[in-house]
Amino acid sequence: MIARRQTLLALLGLWLAPRLGLAGGSGAEMPDGGPYVPTPQLVVERMLELAGVGPDDTVYDLGSGDGRLVIEAARRHGARGVGIERDALLVERSQAAAAEARVADRVRFIRGDIFEADLRRASVVTLYLLPAMMLHLSPKLRDELPAGARVVSHDFPLEDWPQERMVQFESEEKEQNLGTGATQLFLYRAPGPRPAETR
């Protein structure tokens, strides 16, 4: 079961990497479309619950897909949100979905590179990225997130961060899409930027 799950997630990563602009170097052209795997609704709800999202939060979703996580943060929890997504069509879809959910005044979606996003205003960051991407993203999260900001990662941990909490559960929707419903969510708290002289 574990080997099957790892294989499926590895295959998922073959298209996730170029969509997030992490293949072919920094000069790689941003794709206009391509496949994506939406985060199941149950996983969205559990991620927001684990982060303790509330009206005072600003949630950044890095690789935001169709925008559902940011939209739910605004609709159900009263938060503000920002989605960063390389796929222009998904950004358009996210904006339309936000308008339909009547939260367009509380969320925005940016077509761009997650490594170029300014995260200093984020109080919550949500991730569904492969381990190699997480490793490269870790220093940016440390350098930019304010102390106490929460980071919730779906399935893949930030290996060099101490976990505050980890939850496991099954998702039927995920099993239908990927062949396995096994889900892990990891919660972290940002230590805050280090003084310049200690970096």
> What's the pLDDT tens digit per position in 84-112?
999 999 999 999 999 999 999 999 999 99
Percent of the chain with pLDDT over 70: 80
For 10-70, give the DSSP string. HHHHHHHHHHTT-SS-TTPPPPS-----PPPHHHHHHHHHHHT--TT-EEEEES-TTSHHH
DSSP 194: P
* Contact in structure between 141 and 124 (CB atoms under 8 Å): no
The DSSP H or E segment spanning 173 is helix 172-178
Whether the pLDDT of residue 6 is over 90: the answer is: no
Indicate the angle between helix axes 68-77 and 88-100, nearest 10 degrees: 20
Distance CA 73, CA 80 (A): 7
User: Residue 37: its pLDDT value, please?
Assistant: 76
Distance, in Å, from the CA atom of 44 to the CA atom of 58, rounded to the nearest integer, reads 16
pLDDT band at 196 (very low <50, low <70, confident <90, very high): low
**What are the tokens at 165?**
């909490």
14: left (phi over 0), alpha (psi -120 to 50) or beta: alpha
Answer for the pair 46, 3: CB distance below 8 angstroms, yes or no: no
Pairing mode, if any, of strands 80-85 and 124-127?
unpaired
Q: Name 174's Cβ contacts closer than 8 Å, sequence gap at least 6.
A: 40, 43, 180, 181, 183
Q: Please write the tens of the pLDDT for every residue from 118-177.
A: 999 999 999 998 888 899 999 999 999 999 999 999 999 999 999 999 999 999 999 888
State the Cα–Cα distance between residues 3 and 133, nearest whole angstrom.
21
Among 137, 132, 154, 189, smallest CA distance to 39 is for: 154
Handedness of CA 128, 129, 131, 136 (dihedral sign): negative
**In this prediction, what percent of the chain has a pLDDT beyond 90?**
71
